[in-house]
Amino acid sequence: MSILFNIEGQVARITIDRPDRMNAVDREAHKRLVEIWDEIDTNPNIRCAVLTGSGERAFCAGADLKDDSGLSGVEYWEQLGADFGGISLRKNLSKPVIARVNGLALGGGFEMVLGCDIIVAADNARFGLPEAKVGRLPLDGGMVTLPRLMPRNIAVGMMMTGRMVPALQMAQYGLLNAVVTFDDLDAEVDRWVSDILAAAPLSVQAIKATVRRTAHLDTQAAYNTRLPELIAALESVDAEEGVLAFREKRAPVWKGQ
């Protein structure tokens, strides 16, 4: 299998396992990733997911250009959709996703990173959107997402030139949550996982839904948006449990309801 998927407790771990192709995604891998995200979203026992690539060279080098679909650029866009790897622009994934960036994140691979909620990178990682160099476009989130997450001119410069930017520089632009040595990458990811699992699951889902679905609104309109996830968190048993646990100086026992 080109995609490894396992569930450890409440954490799903997804690894693109095509190291001979720099973990580039072909149609088969894309299809499997879509299936996995669907399963994660509907599995009530999963509270967090970690996405990465195998090896030390690449997170994902984007689309496998040797996997010729026979489609034109417009046909590819229309038929395969805009969610590269099933996550780059996905709207209905309620669980938080951590990108464990272990190396190069290029093209669609970088767009998959942009679809995640928390980004932890090794200091040898580099990011780029080189589509313009091969007459293509970063359609799966790059053009519309990157300028919203970091300074506009930096994002545009990356896309127009295809330049690769190192992790420490991307962190300075505010895109990454943490940059560590490769040897410390797993420990840092696990710290973020632990902190997410220590928080109330409905609160985490409400935060993700609100941030994702109101980004296009002005502040007041976003504040007035009463998403179902927001109401569910506010009216949950966990909302009472969190306060009670704080008063009793103990760890809360979350029920996710």
Provide the pairing of β-strand 178-180 with 3-8: unpaired
**How many other CB atoms sit within 10 Å of the CB of residue 229?**
19
Q: Which residues of 77-109 are buried (b: 16+ CB within 10 A; e: fewer)?
A: eeebeebbbbbbbbeebbbbbbbbbbbbbbbbb
Q: Residue 135: what are its φ and ψ, rounded to 5°?
A: 75, 20
DSSP 107: T
Structure tokens, 105? 């994140």
Q: For this structure, is 229 an active site residue?
A: no
Identified catalytic residue from 8, 75, 78, 111: 111
Q: For this structure, is 235 an active site residue?
A: no
Instruction: Spell out the SS3 assignment of 113-127.
Output: HHCCCEEEEECCCEE
Spatial CB neighbours of 9, under 8 Å, sequence gap ≥ 6: none
CB 132 within 8 A of CB 162: yes
Identified catalytic residue from 28, 75, 131, 248: 131
Q: Which residues of 4-36 are buried (b: 16+ CB within 10 A; e: fewer)?
A: ebeeeebbbbbbbbbeebbbbbbeebbebbbeb
Q: Between the CA of residue 54 and those of 51, 61, 165, 174, what are the distances in Å?
A: 10, 12, 21, 26
Angle between helical axes of 152-161 and 142-149 (0-180°, round to 10): 140
Q: Please give the positions annotated as active site.
A: 111, 131
